[in-house]
Amino acid sequence: MPVPDAIVDSVVQFLQGHAPFAQLADADLRYLGERLTLAYFPADAQILEIGIAGVTPLHIVQRGHVRVESSPGTGIVLGPGECFPLHPAGGQTDGAVRYIATEDVFCYLLGISALTTLQARSPALRDYCAASQRTLNALSQSRLHRDFMDRVIEQSMLLEPLSSLVRRQPVTCGPLTPVREALGRMSAASVGTIAVVDPAGSPLGIFTLTDLMERVALRGVSLATPIEAVMTATPRSIDDQACAQDAMAVMAARGVHQLLLLHDGVLSGVISERDLFSLQRISIRNVQQRIREADSGLTLQAAATELGRLSDNLLAQGIGSEPLTRIISAMNDSLSRRVIELTSARFDLGSLRWCWLALGSEGRQEQTVVSDQDNALLFADVDGATPPEAIRARLLPFAVAVNESLERLGFPRCPGGIMAGNPQWCLSETEWRQRFDIWLREPTPEALLHANIFFDFRPLSGESALCLELRGWLTAHAAGARPFLALMTANALQCEAPLGWVRRFRTDDGAVAGTIDLKTHGTRLFVDAARILALAFGVAETHTTRRLNQGGRALNLSERDLSGFAQAFEFLQLLRLRAQRGTVYPARAGLALAPTPNRVNPYALSDPDQLLLRESLHLARTLQSVLAHSLAQ
């Protein structure tokens, strides 16, 4: 039965006073007025709970106020003209968000089918609904900030064993060492303290620059004097398994500025007051400086440990996943470069021209906290008289040593052996081009798998010009390899977003029952699509978001769609980072937690995170549809 014109006019007049309806065309407003129904809800009534209600229409508050809450007594309040629930898809949302009438409430209701039709006709309404994702994202970031601040306080470095804070081997000498020789050792190591030890390594005394001034220079003592004559005997010490708070207490009580650390009575390190008070001032600059000054595996290990704490601190400050993964990648780059520098000094590489290549997530500058090694070596063709086998034989021992050092720093070896120390991935310029050309011309399943890793390469150390030349060659050749791109697209489309029909998410079975893999069935969907777009349209970038933007514009995708893809990818990355740092879930009774590093139980997530996860996966599915229509033929 048609709605009387007088009622339609009344509804239209009401809607014209509220966003986003005031921006709708007259025809769209009348379309709304003819399809809205009026519903009444008494005070304190639960209007709906998302995730429990079946088909959820759009509610427009006509009179009264509605409280939105995820826990009793909390949440925002909606008034006349405001809508709920809003989400970009226009269908049912998920989670356990409740909408409660704070007084007698009247709402206009609009069915999902009519809402979807109207969104297609009206960019203003569509954009308004899409803004809900950004609002939920802010709420998720707020929860994240709270979670990580608690973590930073609870796991303060002041509670960790002192042995984890040692950044270098202690500088030592025997009791009969002349003062001149002791000073030479101190100068070479750039330290202000030397420990005097017996043959077993137990401390007998300590000598500092203050002792040099007061006991040697001012008294005119000869530099040939044995160090035992001017050292401070019976120095203060502490077990290296004590925590930093204990060390602070000893320093304060004894009036000293440094302590010798003992492990089973043997000297293991020296800790200063300055070291302890700098613990809470971890910054990017500090960690970078630690890496640059590192001269051994031990000091690099300390820097790697600080990098993990820096990641926690940055997350606690609410930093987004895109800048955070770039920071992590940049810091890991610095660690790797320092390892390569220290290692190369031990090998005779002569005038060889080579470039260490970063692959996979490191190549895309999207490393998370848990990343294994993916690297390779590229070396220049010399001349016809020097076969590549001879150059490879000189480079491989160096590459193996670097891979071993990186493993000791916490970068696991690649399970598939994709590392520079593998002769298969230590190749000349000509060999790399031949390898890539075979993959492009004969796209076997193995070739497609390798392309997903190797085609994200970028220079890390050595002569970057070699890498850039290879990148230029690949960019020019890949765009014309249509069969390869079609098969690569078909292969990418086999991995589907884990969205279900009956339940909101499609989770895995077996040992990981009830979880989803955020890497394999989340971020990978965007990474694979971005790589294919880059290869198809000659984009030299390796970073996923930049690839999506440049390749997507070549497909004439709208800026709104590109922004949505970028936000979805960033949220999935953020969720992965939180899972890896162990703070992804709020406290929820009866819900099993998923194993890290990349798996989550979606139903143990907070309500906003569930909503964002589903919308992000919907956008991944949309991006795959774009690929299927554009490049799979």
pLDDT at res. 116: 84
Cis-peptide into 4, omega within 30 deg: no
The most confident of the ranges 35-49, 314-328, 489-503, 522-536 is 522-536
**Closest of 46, 42, 32, 6 to residue 111, by C-alpha:** 32
* End-to-end alpha carbon distance in the chain: 48
Describe the crossing of helices 112-121 and 26-33 by its angle, rounded to 10 degrees: 180
pLDDT at 131 over 70: no
301 Cβ partners below 8 Å, 6+ apart? 408, 409, 410
Q: Are 504 and 51 in contact (CB under 8 A)?
A: yes
Q: Any idea which residue has 């020296």 for tokens?
A: 270
Total residues found in the chain within this entry: 633
Q: Write out pLDDT tens, residues 12-31.
A: 988 988 777 877 888 899 99
The SS3 assignment for 463 reads coil
Q: Are 159 and 243 in contact (CB under 8 A)?
A: yes
Residue 417, φ and ψ in degrees, nearest 5: 75, 20
Q: How far apart are CA 586 and CA 367, in angstroms?
A: 25
> In the CATH scheme, what architecture does the domain 486-630 have?
Up-down Bundle (1.20)
pLDDT band at 609 (very low <50, low <70, confident <90, very high): confident
pLDDT at 502 over 70: no
pLDDT at res. 251: 78
- What is the percent of the chain with per-residue pLDDT over 70, rounded to a whole number? 82
pLDDT at res. 136: 46
**Closest of 22, 127, 84, 37 to residue 561, by C-alpha:** 127
Domain spans of the chain, in order of start: 5-121, 159-277, 320-464, 486-630
Q: What are the distances in angstroms from CA 524 to CA 518, 521, 539?
A: 8, 6, 19
Q: How far apart are CA 533 and CA 521, in angstroms?
A: 19
**What single DSSP character describes residue 523?**
I
- What are 600's strand-pairing partners? 516
Per-residue exposure over 111-141, b if at least 16 CB sit within 10 Å of its own CB, e if not:
eeebbeebbeebebbbebbbebbeebbebbb
pLDDT at res. 632: 55
Token pair listed for 262: 């003992």
pLDDT at res. 85: 80
Which one has a higher pLDDT value, 325 or 339?
Answer: 339
Radius of gyration over alpha carbons of the chain, in Å? 31
Describe the crossing of helices 445-454 and 429-441 by its angle, rounded to 10 degrees: 130
**What single DSSP character describes residue 618?**
H
Q: What is the mean pLDDT of residues 359-371?
A: 82
Backbone CA torsion sign across 620, 626, 627, 632: positive
Q: Write out pLDDT tens, residues 50-80.
A: 654 445 788 999 998 888 775 444 456 778 8
CATH class of 320-464: alpha beta
302 Cβ partners below 8 Å, 6+ apart? 164, 165, 166, 167, 290
Q: Write out pLDDT tens, residues 237-295.
A: 999 888 876 787 677 667 678 899 999 889 999 988 777 755 544 556 667 777 887 87
Q: What is the mean pLDDT of residues 587-608?
A: 66
Which one has a higher pLDDT value, 567 or 396?
Answer: 396
Q: Are 396 and 350 in contact (CB under 8 A)?
A: no
Q: Any idea which residue has 């007025």 for tokens?
A: 33
360: alpha, beta or left? (left if phi > 0; alpha if psi -120 to 50):
left
- Strand 58-63 to 83-84 pairing: antiparallel
CATH class of 159-277: alpha beta
426 Cβ partners below 8 Å, 6+ apart? 376, 377, 379, 392, 395, 396, 399, 420
72 Cβ partners below 8 Å, 6+ apart? none
In 345-424, which residue ranges form alpha helices assigned H by DSSP?
Answer: 360-363, 388-408
Q: Write out pLDDT tens, residues 441-489.
A: 988 999 999 999 999 999 999 999 999 999 999 999 998 898 999 999 9
Four-CA torsion 499, 501, 503, 509, nearest 10 degrees:
-60
pLDDT at res. 273: 73
CATH for the 5-121 domain, from 2.60.20.30, 3.30.1020.10, 2.60.120.260, 2.60.120.10? 2.60.120.10
Range list of β-strands (E), 264-374: 266-272, 354-358
pLDDT at res. 21: 83
Q: How far apart are CA 449 and CA 603, in angstroms?
A: 32
Q: Are 58 and 83 in contact (CB under 8 A)?
A: yes
Burial class for 187, CB neighbours closer than 10 Å (0-12, 13-18, 19+): exposed
Q: Write down the mean pLDDT value for the chain.
A: 82
Residue 330, φ and ψ in degrees, nearest 5: -65, -40
- Does the pTM exceed 0.85? no
pLDDT at res. 205: 95
Q: Any idea which residue has 């998302």 for tokens?
A: 50
pLDDT at res. 95: 44
Q: What is the mean pLDDT of residues 576-601?
A: 63
| Cβ atoms < 10 Å from Cβ of 589 | 4
pLDDT at 593 over 90: no
Q: How far apart are CA 632 and CA 618, in angstroms?
A: 20
CA angle 71, 77, 79 (to 5 degrees): 150
Written as one letter, the residue type at 596 is: T
Strands laid side by side in the 232-233 sheet: 172-173, 193-197, 203-208, 232-233
Backbone CA torsion sign across 223, 228, 232, 237: positive
Q: How far apart are CA 16 and CA 325, in angstroms?
A: 45
Q: Write out pLDDT tens, residues 79-126.
A: 888 888 864 433 333 345 788 998 899 999 998 888 888 888 887 777
- What is the percent of the chain with per-residue pLDDT over 90, rounded to a whole number? 42
Q: How far apart are CA 263 and CA 255, in angstroms?
A: 23
